[in-house]
Amino acid sequence: MEAMRKLSLYIFSSKILSVGGFCLLFFICLNGYQLLSYKYDNIQKRWDYFYELPPKSLDILILGNSHAYSSYSPDIIDAICGTNSFVLASNSQLIEQTYFNLIEALKSQNPKIVIIQLSSLTGNSWKNREGDFRVYSNLDGMNYSLNKLNAILGQRDRKDYVNSMFSIFRNHDNWKNSELLASNLSRAEEVDKEDYRGFSVRKSEMGKKVAEQYELENKDDLSGFDISKSDENYLKKLHLLSENKDFKIVYVMSPKYSDLLNKTYQNKYETIKKVASRYGEEYLDFNVLSNEVGLKNRSFENGYIHNQHTSYYGAVQISSFLARHLENKYIQRKFLNQTSYWNTRMSKKKELYLYGSNTIVKPNPVIKLGTNLNLSKNIAAQNVFLIKEKDSVYRLILKFGPRVDVDSISDYKCYVHLFPKDSDKNISEKRKKYGFENFDFKLRTFPTEDGGFYVDRTIKTHIKAVEKLNLGLIKSKIDRSSQITITDFSLQ
Amino acid sequence: MLFNSEQFLIFFPIVTFLFFLCPQRFKWLWLLLVSYYFYMSWNPSYAILILISTIITYYSGIFIGRMNESSYPTKLRERWKRIFVAISFISNLSILFFFKYFHFIDDSIKEFTALIGFEWHKSEFNILLPVGISFYTFQALSYTMDIYRDKLKPEKHFGIYALFVSFFPQLVAGPIERSSNLLPQFREIKKFDYERIKSGLLLMLWGFFQKVVIADRLAVLVNTVYNNPSEYEGVQFIVATIFFSFQILCDFSGYSDIAIGAAKVLGYDLMKNFDRPYFSKSLREFWRRWHISLSTWFRDYLYIPLGGSRVGTLKMYRNLAIVFVVSGLWHGANWTFVIWGALHGAYLIFEEITKPAADKVYRLMNIEPLGFSYRLIHGLKTFALVCFAWIFFRANTVNDAFYIIDHLFVQNWSKLFNKQLFSLGLDEMDFQMAILSILILLTVHWIQRKRNIREWLQGQWLPVRWVFYLGLVLFVLIFGYYGGNEKAEFIYFQF
């Protein structure tokens, strides 16, 4: 009898194991297809990169909607503050999403400061079927966990629970889209990944016409602005979370040109500030701080749209301001608990050399090509340097001051000649007869906070050891700048 | 709650899990509760109808059963039995007729009176057809008839009888179960049986494959053509009709397999409803393989009481005609269904009339009835006739059906090759997937002639089984045609 009982128990256990094994295998296959079939966007990319961060390596976490990832550059903040930060924002993120994203983030990270962009409180006009993909993308990016289930229960309709949990039900038809499958596969096969921190550049800058449109439009009446009970409930939950997990919340609001012009905006600011102060949290509204930040028309993207974002220039201004504010008010040395990680990461970031202090440890991957170099008449580069990102990959930065006219430089192309140490072996076959590798490119400019700009270009070469570099600007065969030649390629 | 809905994906595992945890004496109660919940998820008020039907047939059964055992004189006993049967039939069929055929009769009278110059004012009642009413009404009536014929003792336990009428796997679209098969099973001890559950789940999976991969995909092309017949002709109608023949098979057979599989998981055996009908070599064989639970119902409770084939030849033809016209009407309150039924009746009568002569010809020509060419030609002939009848079944109106028949043989075969077929709702890849999945279905049916695939699988090495199961689940999930705003309902729900 006892033997029979044991045998039954053994059979039962083996069946349970078998079912469990099958379910596991099924979910692995299911997840594999889900990853293969979804339309990858920046929201999922942020989650991917977030999950790949070393555990407990973040000092600052930024959450919010598209205004968060357009206005706050982690690289600038980190260059100034000496911290490691990340923007885990998603399009049209509402406060409930922010809450669940934060819970997810806290599983692997212990940031000391959490910056939350509060546009998430101010509207739900996107909440329609077309806008659903943003919530789906954010949920798809999350790993499977109880928190993901809670996020779905907290945000989606009952009928949509299964769809939200398993993207296969929405994307299964993508088996017909071979290009999508191929691109998802090739991404999965990628070995070298950039250090993406969630920031997205909006290159255009607002022109006169668009500014006039904003000036002439009827402004929203914000005198009756209030925060809904549900939103306030989430603010309370966030506060409780900050107390439990020991981090500081800083609420922020990135500027919109229409809000700058809106006389009733002050009420919105005061309402949010009041609620934030109730929980002892700071609220920085960049609409109200526009003078201190020095916002100009070009600080905004060039588009007459309801949700106008900041331009890259605006993002540089706001990020620098925010970074200095955090540095002065919150950052203490103990924040930088991952010094070697920060060194490795930031030493190859242009932002460190453009905005940061000079507290870099060795090895320094920067080759300084010179300062105040006169390239042509009225065109002087303040600073030129080359960052060695890895073997055979360099990043060339030419920084120009505010006195140089950005339009005058746009007529030029830049050329870079790289000469190898051993010209026979250390160069590609087709460039052997010239003895050097040639890179010609148009000058893509990016603004700096001081009103100047810089040129940024990645150079991928076959040359493993460079002996000499020639650099110059060229407009036509006869109109060339003077050439800069560098022979010292030793890193400091 | 549709079988192909997210709700059912959550509902069924919970029901099954708690069913096996439930003490044996309460299992019936659990199933009854969840069956009513299942039915009420469409419209809670419909539950009243099923309850009324249950009460009437339950008490009819009890009274008829008492008469069967009473010592009354035979004549008196038979009279009372007939009265109770009549009460059961009249009340149940009245409910069915009112909810299903009221508008049909109203419309038909209006059209008829218009023809003879009178004006008939249509009723303004807004009557919605309760889901599955034809199925559970027929199931309940078969119980009354079985007791009347003294083939069955009446079920005394009202709860178990109510469960027999409302058992959720087969409640809304069959199979129409016989009381002698299902009722005793509710008193059996049901234990967790791993192999049985596995087999049931596999059958459900095959049902989902038929429904989601084949039927719902084919429906797109069929609906495009049949909802706007004036825009199409020739080969487009032929393709749409062939597609419909597989759509309706997979839709209904898929539902039946999910129902039978779900019942099997819980430990109950339901009757087979489809047996590879498109491999039939005659119409008679087709009706032995198609919607078996309904065909046998009509055979047992209509054809045989009318005299069946034991009467004279002409009367037998009359009986066939009556059965098929009623069968057509059972399918739907529309003249298209009546014509479809009548057409099948005509096919069978013609087959009966010509059978002796045809057999003689085959004998003279030395054609072997079991030979491949005989089976192929008769299989194709039967399929073609069935397809032709499907035109009436699928067309929205009788006029549409005749328009389609009128334009069926227009010569536009070029459209078969110049990619114009891909503008009928299915793009090229979906069209190819439709063809591939039909081929898979036919291959499985072909193999099933001699071998039960599920049993064959059980004997295979574990990795082979797992690859097969995983492959089928993923195939359904990935290549299924779903994801729109509206769930694709099962065609037979409307009946």
Q: Which residues in A lie closer than 8 A to residue B194 (C-beta atoms)? A: 15
Q: Do A163 and B469 touch (CB under 8 A)?
A: no
Q: Do B478 and A175 touch (CB under 8 A)?
A: yes
Chain A residues within 8 A (CB-CB) of chain B? 15, 18, 22, 25-26, 29-30, 33, 37, 159, 161-163, 168-170, 172-173, 175-176
Instruction: Give SS3 for A212.
Output: helix
Q: Do A172 and B483 touch (CB under 8 A)?
A: yes
Instruction: Give SS3 for A93.
Output: coil
Q: Which residues in A lie closer than 8 A to residue B191 (C-beta atoms)? A: none
Phi, psi (degrees; rounded to nearest 5) at A225: -60, 135
Q: Which helix (H) or strand (E) holds A314?
A: helix A312-329
Q: How confident is the model at residue B293 (pLDDT cuts 50, 70, 90)?
A: very high
**Tokens of residue A327, six digits:** 């540095």
Q: Which residue is closest to B192 within chain A, CA to CA?
A: A12
Q: Which residue is closest to A166 within chain B, CA to CA?
A: B477
Q: Do B482 and A169 touch (CB under 8 A)?
A: yes
**CA of A426 vs chain B CAs: smallest distance (Å):** 49
**CA of A173 vs chain B CAs: smallest distance (Å):** 7
Q: Do B483 and A159 touch (CB under 8 A)?
A: no
DSSP A53: S
Q: Do B477 and A172 touch (CB under 8 A)?
A: yes
Q: How confident is the model at residue B96 (pLDDT cuts 50, 70, 90)?
A: confident
- Return the pLDDT at A447: 86
Q: Do B482 and A163 touch (CB under 8 A)?
A: no
Judge whether B283 and B351 are in contact, CB under 8 Å: yes
- Return the pLDDT at B451: 82
Q: Do B479 and A30 touch (CB under 8 A)?
A: no
Compute the distance between CA of residue B144 and CA of residue B164 in angstroms, rounded to an integer: 13
Q: State the catalytic residue, choosing from B331, B378, B407, B445.
A: B331
Q: Do B194 and A15 touch (CB under 8 A)?
A: yes
**CA of A89 vs chain B CAs: smallest distance (Å):** 28
Q: Is the dihedral of CA A99, A105, A106, A112 positive or negative?
A: negative
**Mean pLDDT to the nearest integer, B194-212:** 91
Compute the distance between CA of residue B179 and CA of residue B91 in angstroms, rounded to an integer: 20
- Return the pLDDT at B315: 87
Residue B26 has, within 13 A of its CA and on its CB side, a CA count of 9
B466 touches A: beta carbon within 8 Å: yes
Q: Do A33 and B473 touch (CB under 8 A)?
A: no
**CA of B130 vs chain A CAs: smallest distance (Å):** 23
B464 touches A: beta carbon within 8 Å: no
Predicted confidence (pLDDT) per residue in A134-152, tens digit: 888 899 999 999 999 999 9
Question: Is the bond into A420 cis (omega within 30 degrees of 0)?
Answer: no
**Mean pLDDT to the nearest integer, B388-407:** 91
Residue for token pair 């099997």: B264
- When scoring B198, B470, B475, B481 by the number of chain A Cβ atoms within 10 A, the one with the most, hence best to mutate, is B470
Query: Is the pLDDT assigned to residue B51 strictly greater than 50?
Result: yes
Distances B67 to B78, B140, B286 between C-alpha atoms, Å: 8, 19, 39
Using CB atoms, pick whichever of A33, A162, A176 lies closest to residue B6.
Answer: A162
Catalytic-residue membership of B103:
no
Query: Is the pLDDT assigned to residue B99 strictly greater than 60?
Result: yes
Q: What's chain B look like in SS3?
A: CCCCCHHHHHHHHHHHHHHHHCCHHHHHHHHHHHHHHHHHCCCCCHHHHHHHHHHHHHHHHHHHHHHHHCCCCHHHHHHHHHHHHHHHHHHHHHHHHHHHHHHHHHHHHHHHHHHCCCCCCCCCCCCCCCCCHHHHHHHHHHHHHHHHCCCCCCCCCHHHHHHHHHCHHHCCCCCCCCHHHHHHHHHCCCCCCHHHHHHHHHHHHHHHHHHHHHHHHHHHHHHHHHHCHHHCCCHHHHHHHHHHHHHHHHHHHHHHHHHHHHHHHHCCCCCCCCCCHHHCCCHHHHHHHCCHHHHHHHHHHHHCCCCCCCCCHHHHHHHHHHHHHHHHHHHCCCHHHHHHHHHHHHHHHHHHHHHHHHHHHHHHCCCCCCCHHHHHHHHHHHHHHHHHHHHHHHCCCHHHHHHHHHCCCCCCHHHHCCCHHHHCCCCHHHHHHHHHHHHHHHHHHHHCCCCCHHHHHHCCCHHHHHHHHHHHHHHHHHHCCCCCCCCCCCHHHHC
**CA of B267 vs chain A CAs: smallest distance (Å):** 18
Using CB atoms, pick whichever of A26, A169, A170 lies closest to residue B473.
Answer: A26
Q: What pTM value is reported for the model?
A: 0.79
Q: Which residue is closest to A37 within chain B, CA to CA?
A: B478
Q: Which residue is closest to B430 within chain A, CA to CA?
A: A176
- Return the pLDDT at B360: 85
Using CB atoms, pick whichever of A33, A172, A176 lies closest to residue B480.
Answer: A172
Considering A102-106, B149-153, B278-282, B475-479, the range whose residues carry the highest mean pLDDT is A102-106
B427 touches A: beta carbon within 8 Å: yes
**Tokens of residue B456, six digits:** 């064959």
Of residues B224, B213, B215, the one with CA closest to residue B243: B215
Question: Is the bond into B184 cis (omega within 30 degrees of 0)?
Answer: no
Q: Which amino acid is at A229?
A: K
Q: How confident is the model at residue B380 (pLDDT cuts 50, 70, 90)?
A: very high
- Return the pLDDT at A364: 72
Q: Which of 183-202 (B) contact A at CB < 8 A?
A: 194
Judge whether A77 and A48 are in contact, CB under 8 Å: no
- Return the pLDDT at A123: 54
Q: Do A162 and B194 touch (CB under 8 A)?
A: no
Reading chain A (492 residues) residue by residue, the pLDDT tens digits are 676 676 666 766 777 888 888 889 988 988 888 888 888 888 999 999 999 999 999 999 999 988 999 999 999 999 998 889 999 998 888 888 899 999 999 999 999 999 999 887 655 544 555 567 788 889 999 999 999 999 999 888 887 888 888 888 888 888 888 888 998 888 888 877 788 999 998 989 899 999 999 999 888 888 888 888 888 889 999 999 999 999 999 999 999 999 989 999 999 999 999 999 999 999 999 999 999 999 989 899 998 887 889 999 999 999 999 999 999 888 876 666 677 888 888 888 888 888 886 565 566 777 777 778 887 777 888 888 888 888 888 889 988 888 888 777 878 888 888 888 876 667 777 777 778 888 888 888 888 888 888 999 998 888 878 888 888 888 877 777 777 888 777 654
- Terminal-to-terminal C-alpha distance of chain B: 16
B9 touches A: beta carbon within 8 Å: yes
Between A and B, how many residue pairs show a Cβ–Cβ distance under 8 A? 41
B30 touches A: beta carbon within 8 Å: no
Distances A308 to A162, A205, A206, B402, B422 between C-alpha atoms, Å: 34, 11, 10, 60, 42
B430 touches A: beta carbon within 8 Å: yes
Q: Do B483 and A168 touch (CB under 8 A)?
A: no
Q: Which residues in B lie closer than 8 A to residue A37 (C-beta atoms)? A: 478
- When scoring A9, A10, A173 by the number of chain B Cβ atoms within 10 A, the one with the most, hence best to mutate, is A173
Predicted confidence (pLDDT) per residue in B334-344, tens digit: 889 999 999 99
Give the bridge partners for A368, in sequence order. Answer: A385
Q: Which residue is closest to A13 within chain B, CA to CA?
A: B194
Instruction: Give SS3 for A426.
Output: coil
Q: Which amino acid is at A40?
A: Y
Compute the distance between CA of residue B242 and CA of residue A401 in angstroms, rounded to an integer: 75
Q: Do A169 and B470 touch (CB under 8 A)?
A: no
**CA of A177 vs chain B CAs: smallest distance (Å):** 10
Q: What is the mean pLDDT of chain B?
A: 87
Q: Which residues in B lie closer than 8 A to residue A26 (C-beta atoms)? A: 470, 473
Q: Which residues in A lie closer than 8 A to residue B216 (C-beta atoms)? A: none
Q: Which residues in B lie closer than 8 A to residue A180 (C-beta atoms)? A: none
Q: Which residues in B lie closer than 8 A to residue A168 (C-beta atoms)? A: 477-478
Compute the distance between CA of residue A133 and CA of residue A119 in angstroms, rounded to an integer: 19
Of residues B249, B239, B218, the one with CA closest to residue B404: B239
**CA of B483 vs chain A CAs: smallest distance (Å):** 6
- When scoring B433, B464, B474, B487 by the number of chain A Cβ atoms within 10 A, the one with the most, hence best to mutate, is B474
Q: Which residues in B lie closer than 8 A to residue A23 (C-beta atoms)? A: none
Cα Rg of chain B, angstroms: 24
Query: Is the pLDDT assigned to residue B495 strictly greater than 60?
Result: no
- Return the pLDDT at B200: 92
Q: Which residues in A lie closer than 8 A to residue B427 (C-beta atoms)? A: 176
**Mean pLDDT to the nearest integer, B466-481:** 90
Compute the distance between CA of residue A57 and CA of residue A341 in angstroms, rounded to an integer: 8
